[in-house]
Amino acid sequence: MAKILKSLQSEGGFSIDEAPIIDPDRNLIDVHTLKVQSNANNKTFKKEYIAHSLLNNTNPSVVMDPGHEVDADRIVFVTGFLLGTWEGYPIVELTSNANSVIVSCTLNDHGLTTGDSISVEFNNPTYSSFNGTYTVTVTSPSAFTFETVTPLDTNNPVLNQILEITNLGGNWEYAVKIESAVLSDTNQTLSTAAHAVTVVKDNIPPGHTWSSSPTVNNTTNQFSFLTSVASNGSLELRGSGVRWSARVDIVYTERSY
């Protein structure tokens, strides 16, 4: 029996639920995922999509969503451009002896030099009257001191307190390009065959370590990217945490043996 094919016609573009998908100039817009498939092999296609994750105090390590499911006996070539952003200031751990004007600070890779001025804001309201600008004396790459006019506490040592250096940063970014190859076997078990990470921009606050890498989940049979952060203090003093976004391009095809 003959099959009648009808082409899609629309003079003013094309929409779904009144949201434009193709405009009158044939621009593809507001598409969550773009998938281009081979006419010669329906198991081979190219796909582009956006993935996200949010790292906070409760979840400092998160797999980006969405992932992509891989069938058995497939190979996927993956390219991801990932950008992580954070709003906040370097967080410093501090101590001070009773009746002392010396404030001792700890912050890994602080990058300061003796004589630098810092503006500080104490996290504990008890010491808010000491918020201000001070000149630092560096004692190591992870430690420095500054002097207040009067002691933080005349009777007791000040321990386990924090402050923020508010003249450093405020907005931080980390960008990487990740290239990877993901394999699945006849049992649909996924593995990362190889990957390379190129750091495009490294502007993270002192005291933080950010990382991202390809990952596979053999429960859901999906691959994605794992984003993680280690910090010496809260990720949510100023904002909601470290936000990651990724533009992901994949080429998906059969695995030949």
Residue 37: HSE in the Cβ half-sphere, 13 Å Cα cutoff: 6
With residue 62 as reference, give the H or E element that holds it.
strand 61-63
pLDDT of residue 72: 95
pLDDT band at 30 (very low <50, low <70, confident <90, very high): low
pLDDT of residue 1: 47
How many helices (H) and strands (E) the chain has is answered by 0, 19
CB contact at 8 A, 101 and 127? no
Name residue, tokens 């980390």.
174
Q: Which residue has the higher pLDDT, 24 or 74?
A: 74
Nearest to 94 by CA among 73, 113, 110: 110
pLDDT of residue 100: 98
Residue 200: HSE in the Cβ half-sphere, 13 Å Cα cutoff: 12
**Residue by residue, what is the 3-state secondary structure of 110-136?**
CCCCCCCEEEEEECCHHHHHHCEEEEC
Average pLDDT over residues 149-173: 96
Q: Where are the domains of the chain?
A: 31-87+171-254, 90-165
Q: 90-165 in CATH: which number?
A: 2.40.30.20
Average pLDDT over residues 96-117: 97
Instruction: Tell which CATH architecture fits domain 31-87+171-254.
Output: Sandwich (2.60)
Q: For residue 110, what are its two tokens?
A: 């602080």
Q: What 8-state DSSP symbol labels residue 255? A: P
With residue 215 as reference, give the H or E element that holds it.
strand 208-217
φ/ψ of residue 40, rounded to 5: -80, -25
How far does CA 134 lie from the centroid of its chain? 32
